[in-house]
Amino acid sequence: MLVAETVDQVRIAVRSARAAGKSVGFVPTMGALHAGHRSLMDASRRECDFHIVSIFVNPTQFGPHEDLARYPRPRDADLELCRTAGIDLVFYPPVEVMYPPNYRTFVEVAGLSSLLEGAVRPGHFRGVATVVTKLLLIAGADRAYFGQKDYQQQTIIRVMVSELNLPTEIRVCPTLRDPDGLAMSSRNAYLTPEQRQAGLSLSRALHLAQRIVDSGEQSVTTIERAMHEILAGTPGVEPDYAVLRHPDTLEELTEILPAMVALIAARVGTTRLIDNQVLQVEL
């Protein structure tokens, strides 16, 4: 497994793989890898021949009071997980490779980037869109793999790739959960045992939303209120939002649709958790 720190190293390896007739799969990450990331790597292994993972804690997607400095960076464990997953190349660039001095070019998907997470974290999705565009151009992969857990992120990335005519197919893979139902996230490591129990209120609220939909409820507001009450009623949880949205555009809903996405965000202690579930409705 090659660990590359420069753009040229990645491009030389990709050219060699393509010369051998291999398709290229790519999994962009910020490290602190877990089974959810491994599932994305496994998807690449099923569908492609040459496999790239990037590990880069992207400073432009962190706000001034967010956790950039303390974001976990377990380099050795991350590289070992990639090695055991059968990854061919890990792109592990220093910050100055991705953002040279006086860097000034950014990518932003207007509208979508200011909703939900974007409203709470201004500038976050500009940072995400910029770094993902750069990584896709560096890797030149046939397919890139993202998790559904970051639902708004993958929606923005799919729109961005389409509108910029980037030649990489975006594949979205299901959210992986721990046995207790908590969606896997690198930030779960910040949670105390008590906070982890409180964090389960997110998945409980999503399950409740599906049950209410299954019961025939026709009011979007009623379902959103029920989700919010689960979060607000759990000690130690401060809800940011609990909403139903259009699954493709994330637009607000005034009526129940055959498919909707329930999106939740809440702060548990000092850790911000997000989760979502696509709700299927029999009308």
Choose among 41, 8, 48: nearest CA to 168. 48
**Local structure of residue 266 (DSSP, 8 states):** E
Q: What is the CA radius of gyration of the chain?
A: 19
Q: Are 6 and 32 contacting, i.e. CB atoms less than 8 angstroms apart? A: no
Q: What is the maximal distance between C-alpha atoms in the chain?
A: 58
Amino acid at 222: T
The Cα–Cα gap between 139 and 124 comes to 22
User: What distance in Å separates the CA atoms of residue 157 and residue 61, rounded to the nearest whole number?
Assistant: 14
Please list the residues that pair with 221 across neighbouring strands: none
Please give the positions annotated as active site. Answer: 37
Q: Assess contact for 238 and 270: CB atoms under 8 A.
A: no
